[in-house]
Structure 1
């Protein structure tokens, strides 16, 4: 496998994980019969964004880097808020 092929695999894997979060949210909402965002959505968002950010850094694409970097912060913050809410419930 060439270096370029490896980076394409990382990029496509990131995109697949990132897309998977929407599939998860859709199926979970169908199961609950209402619009719901499961915690797994945020984990898939974070993983997909981290992979895509890594790929964007390799590609040296500042637009992609800023977009994925900011999104990563939002996903981390949402997970922090969820964890805080869970602690308050206990």
Structure 2
């Protein structure tokens, strides 16, 4: 998993499967803010949709796996991603506990309207 992906050699990119996992996790962790901004814009008030917590948890777990299981073995990266993993898991648990697994849809209201 630490060796470069051979079929990408012609591009000049030297990506290992672990590097690809780490980059995907970092991208997902960063893109969660776009999801939050779009949901807030649609609701016309600050909201944090459940997708934000799923993306936080997944992105943190992927980057944490990269920093612990790949050849990188970087303690700074582990610490940087350990706390957000637990925070996202706890926030997701609270959201599910408060709203249930499936948020109820009220006619004429969107899912983000129900968060406020």
**TM-score > 0.5, shorter chain as reference:** yes
What is aligned with 1:23? Answer: 34
How many Å apart are 1:49 and its aligned residue? 0.4
Per-residue deviation at 1:76?
0.6
Distance in 1 (CA, whole Å) between partners of 2:25 and 2:35 is 15
Task: Tell me the TM-score normalized by structure 2.
Answer: 0.69
Q: Which structure would you say has the larger Rg?
A: 2
Q: In structure 2, how many angstroms separate the alpha carbons of the residues matched to 1:44 and 1:13?
A: 11
Aligned counterparts of 2:76 and 2:58: Cα–Cα separation in 1: 19
1:86 Cα deviation from its structure 2 partner:
2.3
5+ unaligned residues in a row in structure 2: which ranges?
7-14, 105-116
Aligned CA RMSD, in angstroms, stands at: 1.9
Runs of 4+ in 1 over 3 A off after TM superposition: none
- 1:6 is displaced (CA, Å) by 1.4
Alignment of 1:63-82 (within 5 A): 63-82=76-95
TM-score normalised by structure 1 residue count: 0.87
**Count of residue pairs the alignment pairs up:** 88
**Using the alignment, how far apart are the partners of 1:61 and 1:23 within structure 2?**
28
CA distance, structure 2, for counterparts of residue 47 and residue 73 of structure 1: 11
> Which has the larger share of helix?
1
